[in-house]
Amino acid sequence: MSSSIPSSVLATSMRTDTCGLLRRSDVGRTVRLGGWVHRSRDLGGLVFIDLRDRTGLVQLAFGPAWSAAEVQALAAAVGVESVVVCAGEVVAREADRVNPDMGTGEVEVRVHSLQVVGPAVTPALPVARGRGDKMPAEELRLRHRYLDLRRPELQDNLVLRHRLLQVSRRYLSDHGYLELETPILTKPTPEGARDYLVPSRVHPGEFYALPQSPQIYKQLFMCCGFDRYFQIARCFRDEDLRADRQPEFTQIDIEASFIGREDILTLAEGLIGAMWREAGHDDVPPQFERMSYAEAMESYGCDRPDLRYGLELHDYSALFATLDFAVTTTALANGYRVRGLVVPGGAAWSRKQVDELEALAKGAGAGGLLRLRRAEGAYDGPLAKFLTDHAKQALALTDGDLALFVAAPDRISSPALDRVRQECARRLDLVDDQARRFLWVLDFPMFEQDP
């Protein structure tokens, strides 16, 4: 785990340095270290221990030339995840023993003294994982979270979270926003979910509510004249778990006075850019793309479209109005539309693979998925015999294309085609996980018609 904090800042009366920050420039120094035994290897005459703290790993070496017999015996017996403190000399590794996978791979510490301050039994789950090792079951990891959080990957996540919060505080402070706290025990207010309730000891039968957001209080700040407020706010919502929501979560909460939409979008673009750069990504544009809600729903079927690939949706109602196909004729007569997308290369998919796409559409409420493919100049599918020359020209399918349509009201066709579009992109490997397309979706409707 990398760290920008100098080792001297982390020094205490028990240690002079931290494990992950030792480098070749430290060769010759006598250091005191403290940490957890990550893994150990007893080679008979030599014992090696990888010692871990929050900054990373360093190799400890125990040998008869520099370690007393009792020190070497203690090193050979110590278990993984035991807490130890030690003292020794930093030496350079021989060229053929340098470990390029470790930040400290050019050095090791030849230990003179060793003390086990927290012996450990065999841990319920391994902290040190080799390449190809299977991750323990999530339930086991959560039950022993104190072990799981020792893994460098999770520690890196928490360190990054800390850095991002500090960047957000600096950015907002530099833009005149005041970090103000709001109450946690509050009055129930109508929000989007149920409140968590806390019984009052001094008022029997009465309850406090935990805040779903600081909404009312931050608006009171505006009334009081604090025209720019922010808070790293803890929020609580008594609702079912979802992939992107937990019962309690943290949000960067902002309120401001005397501003318009572009002011807050510009502020957010700068804040997000600063945080992404802190995370090591320099490809954040100074201004994000903008798209209306209506355009997003029309072209992509959802209000958070993935723009890293094409496969846009189109309205084919006018084309199908010229065809004598009962399914679409009935749908158009009921005031519905025929919308769909063209999938390059989709004609090679089997009937079963296309049926799987139809199952996704049906799962979103569609009655079915109309299909048409062109291969070797010929058209195939339920629609093929109804196509006119004009329709073929309007569709402009090329060899290998698969066209998929849904005839339904927009409230059904949009989510159905959204699912189909995403699955087609996954199958065709169109999603570049390294690419980023930042987008504002604007002009959301305040109300939607209840069918």
Q: Does residue 125 sit within a domain?
A: no
* The token pair that represents 397 in the structure block: 């399918």
Q: Does residue 432 sit within a domain?
A: yes
Domain boundary (247, 278, 309) is at 278
pLDDT for residue 4: 65
Residue 113 and residue 191 in one domain: no
Report the CATH number that the domain containing residue 183 is assigned in CATH: 3.30.930.10
Q: Does residue 381 sit within a domain?
A: yes
Residue 301 and residue 417 in one domain: yes
E-strand ranges in 24-71 read: 30-42, 47-53, 56-62
pLDDT for residue 3: 54
Residue 315 and residue 225 in one domain: no
Which residue do the tokens 């993984």 mark?
Answer: 80
Residue 336 and residue 274 in one domain: no
pLDDT for residue 410: 94
Residue 164 and residue 256 in one domain: yes
Question: Mean pLDDT, 10 residues at a time, over the chain (451 residues)?
Answer: 67 92 95 96 94 95 96 95 97 93 95 96 88 87 94 93 97 98 89 88 94 93 97 92 84 96 97 96 93 97 96 96 92 95 95 95 94 92 89 92 96 96 96 93 90 75
* The token pair that represents 78 in the structure block: 């110590």
3-state SS class at 193: coil
Which helix or strand (DSSP H or E) is residue 228 part of? strand 228-236
- For residues 48 and 80, is the Cβ–Cβ distance under 8 A? no
* The token pair that represents 363 in the structure block: 């799962």
pLDDT for residue 71: 96
* The token pair that represents 118 in the structure block: 């927290």
What does the DSSP assignment read for 8-30? GGG--SS-SS-GGG--GGGTT-E
CA angle 60, 63, 64 (to 5 degrees): 155
Which helix or strand (DSSP H or E) is residue 86 part of? strand 83-92
> Is this model's pTM higher than 0.75 or not?
yes
Please report the sign of the dihedral spanned by the C-alpha atoms of residue 362, residue 366, residue 368, residue 372.
Answer: negative
Q: What residues make up the domain containing 187?
A: 157-278
pLDDT in tens, 183-217: 999 988 777 788 999 999 999 999 999 999 999 99
Residue 300 and residue 367 in one domain: yes
Report the CATH number that the domain containing residue 401 is assigned in CATH: 3.30.1360.30
Q: Does residue 340 sit within a domain?
A: yes
- For residues 2 and 160, is the Cβ–Cβ distance under 8 A? no
Q: Does residue 324 sit within a domain?
A: yes
Which residues, in sequence order, are CB contacts of 222 under 8 Å at separation 6+?
A: 229, 255, 256, 257
Q: Does residue 181 sit within a domain?
A: yes
The crossing angle, in degrees rounded to 10, of helices 410-427 and 293-300 is: 60
Residue 227 and residue 326 in one domain: no
* The token pair that represents 272 in the structure block: 């997000």
How many structural domains is the chain composed of?
A: 3
Report the CATH number that the domain containing residue 15 is assigned in CATH: 2.40.50.140
Residue 207 and residue 178 in one domain: yes
Residue 41 and residue 67 in one domain: yes
Residue 252 and residue 333 in one domain: no
State the Cα–Cα distance between residues 232 and 254, nearest whole angstrom: 9
Residue 306 and residue 437 in one domain: yes
What does the DSSP assignment read for 241-278? -BTTB-SEEEEEEEEESS--HHHHHHHHHHHHHHHHHH
Nearest 5°: phi and psi at 108?
-145, 165
Residue 77 and residue 38 in one domain: yes
Q: Does residue 35 sit within a domain?
A: yes
* The token pair that represents 59 in the structure block: 């190799």
Q: Does residue 310 sit within a domain?
A: yes
Q: Give the C-alpha distances (Å, rounded to integers) separating 42 from 37, 50, 51, 90.
A: 13, 12, 15, 20
Closest CA to 221 of 190, 189, 256: 256
pLDDT for residue 232: 97
Please report the sign of the dihedral spanned by the C-alpha atoms of residue 15, residue 20, residue 26, residue 29.
Answer: positive
Closest CA to 158 of 167, 169, 149: 149
pLDDT for residue 449: 80
